[in-house]
Amino acid sequence: MPHTDPTTGALVLAATPIGDSRDASPRLLEELTTADIIAAEDTRRLRKLADRLGVDVKGEVVSYYEHNEAARTPELVTRMAEGARVVLVTDAGMPSVSDPGYRLVSACVEAEVHVTCVPGPSAVLMALAVSGLPVDRFCFEGFLPRKQGERARMLATLSDEPRTMVFFEAPHRLAATLSSMAEAFGDERRAAVCRELTKTYEETRRGGLAELAAWAADGVKGEITVVVSGRPSEATRETDPASLIPEILERAAAGERLKDVTRDVAARTGQSAKVLYDAAIAAR
């Protein structure tokens, strides 16, 4: 049974599955079973997850979401200071990453309440891993503004960003967002649209931003994560296109599709994929 112990009060940020409930870790099941309090973004979704996992939730369940987190945070911090172990879960993935959590973590740090984490599924990291884009350096930008003008201004501030960028987007805004990205970053900038990660209809679509925008114009469904390559360095952008053709032909001869190779090299060097493709065809 959950119980309050003044020596063990803590906040546990617990990652939940982003689609496939089999991704739940043994530690998540243990924390949900033994927590004194579970603060959930949606209590109904928590109950459904617990049922799927076969977890008997014995602790108190309270809601903790965007519109009540300011009021509920002091109450939870007080309970933890008194010894309660509070597990925070959101609808999917890691709390505080584009979800409620940051305010509570900050308050716990200020009150010197222990904060720990149950690691687990993350749409950001999974999309990066499967994107095929550089992952040695990246930044997470969350959701872009909904209004076109505000979105364009935000993207303009990222036009010189050298790191791979990760965004969340609603499916009905995806085509407009990709078009705005193409205007800000260039039609040929490489990107990946990751849809329904870990779910039955999981799909990753890779290509230039303009190409992806045209694909999305027909309508896309599901949870969306967009990964966009960073701006190539000045050194790579100034590379003579002719000097890249031997690498392209070598990779194509080894079995890669010529169009895929030219797009990859174009993204890395800032060259036009069409120019490289035409030059490679002529050199064959």
- Model confidence at 243, in pLDDT bands (50, 70, 90)? confident
Structure token pair of residue 177: 């967002």
pLDDT at 1 over 50: no
Question: In the CATH hierarchy, which top-level class contains the domain 10-121?
Answer: alpha beta
pLDDT of residue 12: 98
Q: Looking at residue 265, what is its pLDDT?
A: 84
Q: Kindly list the domain boundaries of the chain, sorted by start residue.
A: 10-121, 124-228, 234-283
Q: State the Cα–Cα distance between residues 197 and 205, nearest whole angstrom.
A: 12
What is the model's pLDDT at position 171? 97
Sign of CA dihedral 73, 75, 79, 81: positive
pTM over 0.85: no
Tens-digit pLDDT profile for residues 97-145:
888 999 999 999 999 999 999 999 999 999 999 999 999 999 999 999 9
Burial label for 283, CB within 10 Å (0-12, 13-18, 19+), is exposed
- Give tens-digit pLDDT for 47-104: 999 999 999 999 999 999 999 999 999 999 999 999 999 999 999 999 988 889 999 9
pLDDT at residue 104, rounded to an integer: 97
The CATH architecture to which 124-228 belongs is 2-Layer Sandwich (3.30)
Res 236: pLDDT: 53
pLDDT at residue 58, rounded to an integer: 95
Strands 224-228 and 164-169, by their bridges, are antiparallel
The pLDDT value recorded for residue 91 is 94
Angle at 180 between CA 177 and CA 184, to 5 degrees: 135
Helix axis angle for 245-253 and 258-269, nearest 10°, is 150
